[in-house]
Structure 1
Amino acid sequence: MGVAAEQAGEIGPPVKKGPLVKRQSAWTRATHWAWAISLFFLLVSGLQIFNAHPRLYIGQQSGFEFDNSVLSIGAVRKPDGSVGGVTTLMGQQFDTTGVLGYSGPPGREQVRAFPSWITMPSYQDLATGRVVHFFFGWILVTTMLIWFVASLLNGHLRRDIVPTGADMRKLPGDIADHARFQFRHGRHYNALQKLSYGMVLLILCPLMVLTGLTMSPGMDAAWPWLVDVFGGRQTARTIHFGVMVLLVLFFIVHVAMVVLSGPFNNLRSMITGKYRIDPEDRA
């Protein structure tokens, strides 16, 4: 009798699933994947361009005679005669041998800021890096414009991106749930998602585009006020690099959340638009 009861307890009631709902429009899905591809190629080509002059400055001018560098990645010869990578951030030096400054397979190490496996091309080729970077930069700009117009027309921007007062009141609870790895699957984005997506789509991506345009001599001639807005071309380059770091961090967290909260459900949402919500979220 005990065995039967135990077996019955093991079977238990079936897990109740929520309904499948249409969560993502075709415009949102298409621009999402266009962004993902564009940002990947912008990253690897941008690091290729950075390797040509692996220093960041604040201000309008740069060079050996100026002391306005905030970041540099290079190599030094150590007292024992070996070569090592060193990264200097705000005057503080860090040994980054094997990762930044000096890296590569044993016996074939190279002096280069970022390693070959993360740049396009893998070898040093500034001209090709610029061609790839500019090409996908304009794809990113076009995608942003398409997304913005479509999101205004179908309500996605108002409904899913811009947080409301009610969303902000729920923010502490959403943060606590994420910290405990308790994820709710609702018809609409939660407060934490709205804030993070809004930050990326409405602040970081436009800032990336504007600072990129500021570094272009052609755009400086057409829009000279851009240089003044960002405090000089070198400051714009530093901001551009900083935004890249923030976008990479967002990507890492974003992928982690997709995996932890249900990769199949999330990927289905971004491929077919269908998303399975929790039973209690039918309303």
Structure 2
Amino acid sequence: MFGAPSRERATSQIIKRQSIWTRLTHWVWVICLFFLLLTGLQIFNAHPSLYIGQQSGFEFSNSIFSMGAIRNPDGSISGITTIFGHRFDTTGVFGYSGPEGQERVRGFPAWATIPSYQDLGTGRVVHLFFGWVLVGTMFVWFVASLINGHLRRDIIPTGRDIRSLPSDVAAHARLKFPHTRHYNVLQKLSYGVVLLILFPLIVLTGLSMSPGMNAAWPWLIEIFGGRQTARTIHFITMALLVGFFIVHIAMVLLAGPLNTMRSMITGKYRIDPETEEGK
């Protein structure tokens, strides 16, 4: 491991893989999504339930997800998370959490929200600020990617990519991650779903919950089947983005974090010599 450089390392090549626009927008998105997630959970805590439809309330039975608390016969309090009518005890994490002796009823725990205390007004202000920064960055990325070919070359899969999908899945299952000049098909598919589907979806569902946007674009909320359905889709999309982030970090660690991080900071990336031919 610490001996003389191997033949592969001696003959490998360092290329410029990421443009300045890809790198800048990537890190701006990281910051935006961090604050959007934690302030979004703060906003959710103001009413920790999700519904399907236009309305919600005591006279409706359209709740599909909720966090709350119940008092037990012995006087203790338990946190309860309900999913499609099935109740789960989540005391200490969801529904009822806090330091010992200072527990309180709340959806997500204090460590998962910004601010940590309940402050809907601040949560909304910060959430909207980073939401618009996200939208602006998306626009910059899209225009730059059209001009420099990043969208065509690295995001949209080709027929050849689709044909290589089974072998690429098999290679990932064996934890083999070749370092090539271009993204593999799984990267293209996952980045394409995030950038071209999930990002626009979370923005549009967020806008559909704004009274101002409802007045300007009343058709927007109708597309999503009502305000409560839009809120639910917004929450689910957030959960999918969190799942993508977890998998993304795992893949970075498995594929070689130094090489991958260097490409997203400096743009330089070391590729395997045997993969360069024909690329």
**Coarse TM-score class (shorter-chain normalised):** over 0.9
Q: Look up the equivalent residue of 1:278 and give its one-letter code.
A: D
Q: Which residue of 2 aligns with 1:267?
A: 261
Q: Which residue of 1 aligns with 2:210?
A: 216
1:12 Cα shift?
Answer: 8.5
Q: Look up the equivalent residue of 1:191 and give its one-letter code.
A: V
Q: Look up the equivalent residue of 1:127 and give its one-letter code.
A: G
Q: Which residue of 2 aligns with 1:14?
A: 6
Q: Using the alignment, how far apart are the partners of 1:170 and 1:80 within structure 2?
A: 60
Matched, 1:242 2:224: no
1:13 Cα shift?
Answer: 8.0
TM-score (norm 2): 0.96
Matched, 1:179 2:173: yes
SS at 2:178's partner residue?
coil
The 1:12/1:149 distance shift into structure 2, 3 A limit, reads: closer
Matched, 1:110 2:104: yes
Gaps of 5+ in 1: 1-9
Q: Look up the equivalent residue of 1:227 and give its one-letter code.
A: I
The 1:219/1:171 distance shift into structure 2, 3 A limit, reads: same
Matched, 1:71 2:65: yes
1:282 Cα shift?
Answer: 2.3
C-alpha contact 2:178 2:275 (8 A) present in aligned 1: no
Aligned pair count reads: 274
User: 1:24-45: CA deviations, max 9, x gaps?
Assistant: 0000000000001000000000
SS at 2:179's partner residue?
coil
Q: Which residue of 2 aligns with 1:35?
A: 29
1:266 Cα shift?
Answer: 0.5
Q: Which residue of 1 aligns with 2:190?
A: 196
Q: Which residue of 2 aligns with 1:7?
A: none
1:179 Cα shift?
Answer: 1.3
Matched, 1:140 2:143: no
SS at 2:145's partner residue?
helix
Gaps of 5+ in 2: none
Q: Using the alignment, how far apart are the partners of 1:14 and 1:198 within structure 2?
A: 35
User: 1:48-103: CA deviations, max 9, x gaps?
Assistant: 00000001110001111111111110111122221111000111111111110011
Q: Look up the equivalent residue of 2:202 and give its one-letter code.
A: M
Q: Which residue of 2 aligns with 1:84?
A: 78
- After superposing on structure 2, the runs of 4+ consecutive aligned residues of structure 1 that deviate more than 3 Å are 10-13
Q: Using the alignment, how far apart are the partners of 2:83 and 2:8 within structure 1?
A: 53
Q: Look up the equivalent residue of 1:217 and give its one-letter code.
A: P
Instruction: Output the aligned Cα RMSD.
Output: 1.3
Q: Look up the equivalent residue of 1:275 and give its one-letter code.
A: Y
Matched, 1:207 2:201: yes
SS at 1:16's partner residue?
helix
Identity %: 71
